[in-house]
Amino acid sequence: MKKYFEKIVLDGISFKVENGEIYGFLGPNGSGKSTTLKILAGVLKPTSGRVEVEGIYVVSNPVEVKKIIGYVPETPTLYESLTPAELFSFIGGIRGIDEKILKERVNRFVEAFEIGKYMNQFIGTLSFGTKQKISLIASFLHDPRVIIMDESMNGLDPKSARILRELLIRFRDEGKSIIFSTHVLPLAEMICDRIGLIYEGKLIAEGTMDELREKAQEENLEDIFLKLTKSKDDMANIIQALQEVL
């Protein structure tokens, strides 16, 4: 459970992500996805409840957990007046990554996401998408066993989005656990092994695509989503109301 002071925003959420699995986390805006992911990453503390990553308790041992997690936040908040090269060095230093390995990893990622020309520019002056790429690389540098991503496809150009997608599939095949939230339903449908649907702080459905289809009696994920979050019926009314004022 997570309370933001008075308000309960997460309640009775419980799920497990296996090794070698991609878990998709869906839900309307404000339903509690980011809060859940932050708690998993040890960035935020739950008001009550137990969170375990690879056998380590996140609440009592956040530093150890952060060593094996790569967390990509919803909005990249990085040091604006460092350059990407300096930021990666910074992360390497804090995480104690061997310099040679670090260099190699950075070089590969920089090539893959085509950000070589920005490497000596201050992060504050870069576009949102470029910052997002840097934020992604920043959380992959230590080769984490668990990857937590919060709407990380936002702002990526098609090529980088594709690379990231392929990368995630590779990571899964290597046995890493991946959990990510997204509003890009086709992506979720395509790569997720299991999907959790969160609505107003509660996990209202969970399972493979087939299991979800069964439950909602709908074919594609968008319809499943709308039906389970009870937004399907009033859609026409909403559109009608908007047209009246515009």
Among residues 9 and 78, whose Cβ is nearest to ligand ADP? 9
Residue 164: what residue type? L
Distance, in Å, from the CA atom of 172 to the CA atom of 222, rounded to the nearest integer, reads 24
Q: Which of 119, 110, 112 is nearest to 159 (CA)?
A: 112
Distance, in Å, from the CA atom of 224 to the CA atom of 220, rounded to the nearest integer, reads 6
Q: What does the per-residue mask of binding to Mg ion show for 30-49, with x meaning CB under 5 A?
A: ---xx---------------
Among residues 119 and 191, whose Cβ is nearest to another protein? 119
- Bridge partners, residue 197, by sequence: 26, 205
240's contact among ligand ADP, another protein, Mg ion, none, with CB below 5 to 8 A by partner kind, is none
Among residues 33 and 105, whose Cβ is nearest to Mg ion? 33
Among residues 35 and 229, whose Cβ is nearest to another protein? 35
Residue whose entry in the numeric block shows the structure tokens 């959420």: 13
The residues in 14-43 that bind ligand ADP, with binding defined as CB under 6 A, are 27, 29-35
Q: Which of 77, 72, 71, 135 is nearest to 109 (CA)?
A: 135
Residues 6+ apart with CB under 8 A from 68: 53, 54, 56, 144, 145, 146
Among residues 35 and 132, whose Cβ is nearest to ligand ADP? 35
Q: To the nearest whole angstrom, how small is the minimum distance from the Cβ of residue 49 to ligand ADP?
A: 15
27's contact among Mg ion, another protein, ligand ADP, none, with CB below 5 to 8 A by partner kind, is ligand ADP
Say whether residue 152 binds ligand ADP (CB under 6 A): no
Q: To the nearest whole angstrom, how small is the minimum distance from the Cβ of residue 150 to ligand ADP?
A: 7
Give just the sign of the alpha carbon dihedral 204, 216, 181, 154. Answer: negative
Distance, in Å, from the CA atom of 206 to the CA atom of 83, rounded to the nearest integer, reads 41
Q: To the nearest whole angstrom, how small is the minimum distance from the Cβ of residue 82 to another protein?
A: 6
Distance, in Å, from the CA atom of 228 to the CA atom of 199, rounded to the nearest integer, reads 9
Classified as helix, coil or strand, 113 is: coil
Among residues 43 and 91, whose Cβ is nearest to ligand ADP? 43
Contact 24, 205 (CB under 8 A): no
108's contact among ligand ADP, another protein, Mg ion, none, with CB below 5 to 8 A by partner kind, is none
Interface with another protein (CB under 8 A):
3, 5-6, 41-43, 45, 62-67, 69, 71, 73, 76-86, 88-99, 102-103, 106, 117, 119-122, 124-125, 138-139
Residues of the shown chain interacting with ligand ADP in the complex, contacts defined by CB under 6 A: 4, 9, 27, 29-35
